[in-house]
Structures are given as C-alpha cells and as structure tokens.
Amino acid sequence: MAEIVFDQIGKTYAGGYAAIRNLNMTIRDGEFLILVGPSGCGKSTALRMIAGLEDISEGRLMINGAVVNDLAPRDRDIAMVFQSYALYPHLTVAENIGFGLRVRGMDKAEIARKVDETARLLELEDYLARKPAQLSGGQRQRVAMGRALARSPQAFLMDEPLSNLDARLRGQMRAEIARMQKLSGITTVYVTHDQVEAMTMGDRVAVMKGGVLQQLGTPRSLYDRPANLFVASFMGAPAMNLLEGELVAGHGGIEARFGGVAIPFSAGVLAERPGVGRAAGRAVVLGVRPDVFQPVDGVNAPSSAIPGTVAFIEDLGADLLAHVDVEMADHLKALATEQDEVALSAPRLRVMIDSTRRVSRGERLSLVADAARIHLFDAATEAAIRD
C-alpha cells in the first residue's frame, strides 16, 4: 500500500526539453488514479519517475513519506504493466503468474497459494495449465496483470495497457481492471490518452498538457466543472462545442452574444456562478456539450437559438449525432485536441439528438441551450469563468 507524492517535480531531458513542469500531486493510498492527456504531454515520463526508470531533475518524489528520488527501481516494490504484455510463451499460466515469486526465492507451497489466490481474483482458475498461445487476448492481459498482482506490490503502474486490444475487449477489460483494483486495494496509476478510459475507470483523473497538470479531480468533477478550455474540450465524447463571443451587460442581466444570437444568464445562474457577473465586457468562449443543445422548430425559436442546417447524421444507436452547419461559423472555435477530426476540418456544431426524434439531412433547425449548462471560459486566459 502506498501514498505517492509529487512535490514540485520537474523533468528536463538531455537537450533541454522540459517534459514535466512543477508537478504537485498526491496519489492517495489505495487510489486508482488516471493520468490522461494527448501524446507527448509527459504522462509516461511521470509514470516512469514513480517506477524509478527516469531521473528526476527537480523536486521530491515521495512514497509513504520517504523521498525516493535516488532509490533504485528494484527497491521500490512497484509493479509495472505495459502495453505489450510479454508473457513467457513456454510457461503455463500458473508458471507465468508465479514467475516473479520464484525469482525471489519464495518457497513452492507459498507460490502455489499465491498463484491460486491471484487466479481466483482474475477468474483464471480454469486456465492455469494452458500456455499463452492457447489464450484469448483478454485472458493474456489478465495473466500479465496476475503476474504483477501476485507479487503484492505497493503500487501498480500501467502504461496504456489496453491499446493493443480491439474495442469490445477494451470495454470489457476497462471494467475488469477497475474491479480488480478495487478488490486488491493497491494504489494504481494508469496512463492513457483515451478520455473514455479516463472517464470510466479511476477514482480521480489528472489531466496533463505540455508537461503541466491542468486539473486533478473525480471524472464527474472534471466533466461538470472543467477548470479550463483544454480540460473541457478533452473530457467527454463527442467533444464539447466551442463558440467565441462576448459577455454583455444588458436587459437587467448578463448575456452572451455572438453572430446575432444572445443567450441570457438568469439571476439563478449568476447566483451560482458569481464570476460570470463580474466578467461582463470580456471576450469569452462558450462551451456547450452536444447533448445540451435542443433542436426547436424555427418558427418558435427564441432569440437565443442558433439557426442551422443538418449537414450529416451519425447514427449511434440510442442517439443520433447531427453535425449542423451554422451561419455564424466564424464564431466556432476549433478544438484544442485532435480527438475530433471532423470538427477540425469543418466548423460545425455537434448535436446529440434522441433517436426517436426524426431528423434528416438538409433539415433546417434552431438550437437552444439551457444557460445553466453552458460553460464559459475567458477567451484570453482560457480559464473557466465560474466562482
């Protein structure tokens, strides 16, 4: 069991590249923490520092209160599971799981007990005599985890362990890893660039960008209260719509204006988010998740509605994702992440529509959004405007 603390940690690679800047973060004992961000943001570097595989340029890394900056990897009692879960092909599942224990000289009966216990946890009891080649991808993944788990390490580190699996299996393994982590209670740090994994697996999520921690919190808090534009656009699929506008004091309140549309923020919303009232006169970015837009009939549309035309529709089963061309396309802000290529190539609004409502290509509709559910960001600093 371990608490892991990053205290003002920095990492500069030879050549001068600053991969991590002033990272302050406490990973709690027993916690499942997800480290997420786009490629190159420093996730693996942070993980490798915990394992002791990367020198620390600045700050202190502590495990259970002891500074471990100079502690060798083998003395840290930490297990790492990588993307390529190399199993020994000539050994059985039982031998693979027990491998690390044998190497450490644990006695046979104790190894057998540990292997059985681990196999039960991972539901691998029926496969113990098989060789890796006789297993499915998911089962192999479980054996790889079993091998790490059998050692009862202080902490588990996982670097994109599911990226080699197909989508169906990935979904299954997401749930399985989360379940196993809870059962074992071992502090786990899990690196991914996949925001679905980030939203669904961990207790808390640390979002990184360019070597800088952007926000640390529960998946729900990051989704509901993103600290800045980057977190807002990174978390959630399909991605949030971003519109550039201005906050203006008028009509006895505050409204967001862009391209002929005015969205009023009621006294209720302002009471909940006093920062919005103070931001009058500022250039802002409005963030509207695809499920927050409601299509309304053009004739009855209020002045806060955005008129548009359905360019195309993706049928997602329970919902339809409509891509809507709008006249004020110059107010649409391209996403900060690469996760939505469609949005980057054509500035359109993404609107999630219940599949029971009929909508067709070329249809004209007006979109309204509940102001209480619209996120606001300062256009200059990209920080959320809220409190």
**What residues line the site for ligand ADP (CB under 6 A)?**
13, 15, 17, 19, 37, 39-45
Strands 32-36 and 187-192: parallel
Q: How far is the CB of 9 from ligand ADP (least distance, A)?
A: 13
Instruction: For residues 322 and 350, give the distance between their C-alpha atoms in angstroms, rounded to a whole number.
Output: 6
Angle, vertex CA 241, rays to CA 362 and CA 231, nearest 5: 155
Q: Which is nearer to ligand ADP, 49 or 93 (CB)?
A: 49
Task: Identify the DSSP state of 384.
Answer: B
Instruction: For residues 105 and 189, give the distance between their C-alpha atoms in angstroms, rounded to a whole number.
Output: 28
Q: Which is nearer to ligand ADP, 211 or 287 (CB)?
A: 211
Q: How far is the CB of 376 from ligand ADP (least distance, A)?
A: 29
Q: How far is the CB of 214 from ligand ADP (least distance, A)?
A: 13
Q: Which is nearer to ligand ADP, 41 or 376 (CB)?
A: 41
109, with CB counted inside 10 A (0-12, 13-18, 19+), is exposed
Instruction: For residues 309 and 323, give the distance between their C-alpha atoms in angstroms, rounded to a whole number.
Output: 9
Ramachandran assignment for 20, one of left (phi > 0), alpha (psi -120 to 50 degrees), beta (any other): beta
Q: Which is nearer to ligand ADP, 11 or 142 (CB)?
A: 11
How far is C-alpha 41 from the geometric centre of its chain's CA atoms?
13
- Would you say 326 and 306 are in contact if contact means Cβ atoms under 8 Å apart? yes
Instruction: For residues 120 and 153, give the distance between their C-alpha atoms in angstroms, rounded to a whole number.
Output: 18
Q: Which is nearer to ligand ADP, 187 or 192 (CB)?
A: 192
Q: Which is nearer to ligand ADP, 195 or 366 (CB)?
A: 195
Instruction: For residues 39 and 56, give the distance between their C-alpha atoms in angstroms, rounded to a whole number.
Output: 20
CA dihedral of residues 262, 268, 274, 280 (deg, nearest 10): 20
Full DSSP string of 39-64: TTSSHHHHHHHHHT-S---EEEEEET
Full DSSP string of 89-136: TTS-HHHHHHHHHHHTT--HHHHHHHHHHHHHHTT-GGGTTS-GGGS-
Q: Which is nearer to ligand ADP, 41 or 288 (CB)?
A: 41
Q: How far is the CB of 47 from ligand ADP (least distance, A)?
A: 8
Q: How far is the CB of 33 from ligand ADP (least distance, A)?
A: 15
Q: How far is the CB of 67 from ligand ADP (least distance, A)?
A: 22
Q: How far is the CB of 35 from ligand ADP (least distance, A)?
A: 8
Instruction: For residues 89 and 22, give the distance between their C-alpha atoms in angstroms, rounded to a whole number.
Output: 42
CB count within 10 Å of CB 123 equals 12
Q: How far is the CB of 164 from ligand ADP (least distance, A)?
A: 16
Q: Which is nearer to ligand ADP, 45 or 141 (CB)?
A: 45
Q: How far is the CB of 190 from ligand ADP (least distance, A)?
A: 12
Q: How far is the CB of 261 from ligand ADP (least distance, A)?
A: 38
Q: Which is nearer to ligand ADP, 42 or 132 (CB)?
A: 42
Instruction: For residues 335 and 154, give the distance between their C-alpha atoms in angstroms, rounded to a whole number.
Output: 39
Rg from Cα positions in the chain: 25
Q: Which is nearer to ligand ADP, 38 or 146 (CB)?
A: 38
